[in-house]
Structure 1
Amino acid sequence: MKSKTWTLLFLCFCLSCGSVKRTDNTDIFEKSFGLKNSKDLEKFVQKFEKLVLTPNYSTGDLTEKYKDFAKTCLEKGVVDALPAINGALIEFRETQAWNEIYAQVDSVWTGKYEQLSGRIIYNSEKGTKNIGTTGYPTRRISNLDSLKTSILKWQVWNNYGKYVTALEKVKKGNAFIEEYYQVKTKVGEISSEIFCDMLRRHNPDFENQLIRNIIAVEFALLYVS
């Protein structure tokens, strides 16, 4: 009987290794981002863990794999993993959660100063909102039609969506999330080098669901870049 008890306790301990940590901020984030959006994001995070972290990183639990990821960051095996997770990325892109994280370019025209201009829209739950424009120089571009097609596929960081709003509500007291929020809201897209530097300097709690969300979202950026 004692043997069975210790076995059960051991199994419970093992199952807790690398488990996701929920905090009060997790609830605050989900309330702001929306429960359905949070579930769709969490589903993508789980696919990221299964298809990217598990095959390419350490043999330890998920927390150890995230730590290993932070050391090599968006280098070791990650780009090669894009085809494996392509289906999950496409599925994630069809959710409202995606629209709350990224805005889209829906029209392109020839503007002044030898550049193409594009209208950026936010596909919110209440309808489409025009939130700005983007431009791309056309000098030395031989095929403008091809460039227009490319621009229409762009996904732009959405400073008006619920994801940014949710991060704003939970950033206080977490140095990594606070710096990430400040940089993203100022410049939008950041290089993998800058993001990796943040991870290494702050060494955040990789059991925290919010940290895992951010890492998976930045990985998705490779897909839309």
Structure 2
Amino acid sequence: MLMTETTPPVPSTPPSTLLLLVRHGETPTTGTVLPGRTPGLHLSDRGQAQADRVAERLAGLPVDVIYSSPLERTRETAEPTAACTGLDVNENAGLIECDFGEWTGAALAELAGLPQWQTIQHTPSAFRFPGGESFAQMQARMVEALEVLCAAHAGGVVVCFSHADPIKAAVAHALGTHLDLFQRIVISPGSVSVISYVEGRPPAVLMVNSTLEPLSGLRSS
């Protein structure tokens, strides 16, 4: 009997998905008030310039889809990128700001004097905003939303416009960092953070809080 050798098939490599997380630009209350999900808050002139800069930095990157938190400040930050790419801005509730409950609209200077503020800074996993979300709920909601979007656009470039705390929580999760350490991550207005997702593998964090260089040369790891 003639025996022939056969070459085993090469396993296919799962597609990598490039996820860009963009914090909205500055508003008139940035750094002074905890706006939360308050409607009607728009970008300041500086925030609009930051939004325009994001679009410039993304020029040349093959963006497949754009998602945004439903709030005005995130949609306004996404609009210049949508105009440059010819894509629509798709609202996704999973990207929305944390629900700060009774603290919504409070001055940060006043909140910083409360004993609960130390819990927020040092053990946020144990804190829930009165009448609102816990940080753990926010992180689970954000991570689930991103995983669904990456699965829906596997192998593509997905740009999501969101808020500081949800982005910090998503980056911490991707890094394998405990939620109690997520306050060490800085996410500035108009910044871009990048995570590469491949099915069946841990995510790879490629960039955090980037505000300067062009992004057209980004590649999944």
| Shorter-normalised TM range | under 0.3
Higher helix proportion, which one?
A: 1
User: Which structure is richer in relative contact order (CA contacts within 8 A, separation 6 or more)?
Assistant: 2
Q: TM-score, normalised by structure 1?
A: 0.25
